[in-house]
């Protein structure tokens, strides 16, 4: 998975090397153990997300899967190739990835501006003495 923010890798690296070893778990494959040394349950993630969402006054329709949509959108808006993004999230079809993408109005305007500028750019000047 590609880290979108510059700080993501060092923060996760610090967790894995300095924090995670402090958990005394029998199963070393558990990256995010609970206080009882087991894996975090999906219901727990859903419940915590809902608590934070509600505390922030965000729309109740938001759920953890929305973060996946945000990830795809950030990659597209940051200029990553759509095929790369599709492969990052494991979609078989580009049309599925497109459903996950919700680019901003600013992004759409910048993209349209680039296309219009390219389409209506003045023709290159012909050099004097050219055989054209």
CA angle at 113 for the pair 109 and 117, rounded to the nearest 5°: 175
Neighbouring residues of 103: CB distance < 8 A, sequence distance ≥ 6: 73, 76, 77
Long-range contacts, 61-66 (Cβ 8 Å, 24+): none
Q: Do 68 and 89 meet the contact criterion of CB atoms below 8 Å apart? A: yes
Q: So what's the pLDDT on residue 3?
A: 65
The whole-angstrom separation of Cα 77 and Cα 7 is 19
Residues of the chain where predicted confidence (pLDDT) is lower than 50:
none
Query: 33: which DSSP letter?
Result: B
Query: What are the boundaries of each domain within the chain?
Result: 61-120
């Amino acid at each position: 998975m590609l880290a979108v923010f510059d700080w993501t890798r060092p923060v996760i690296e610090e967790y894995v090397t300095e924090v995670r070893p402090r958990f005394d778990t029998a199963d070393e494959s558990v990256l995010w153990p609970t206080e009882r040394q087991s894996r975090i349950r999906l219901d727990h993630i859903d419940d915590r997300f809902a608590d934070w969402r509600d505390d922030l006054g965000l729309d109740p329709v938001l759920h953890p899967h929305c973060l996946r949509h945000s990830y795809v959108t950030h990659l597209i808006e940051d200029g990553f190739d759509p095929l790369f993004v599709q492969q990052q999230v494991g979609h078989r079809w580009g049309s599925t990835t497109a459903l996950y993408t919700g680019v901003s109005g600013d992004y759409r305007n910048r993209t349209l501006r680039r296309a219009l500028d390219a389409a209506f750019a003045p023709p290159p000047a012909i050099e004097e003495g050219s055989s054209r």
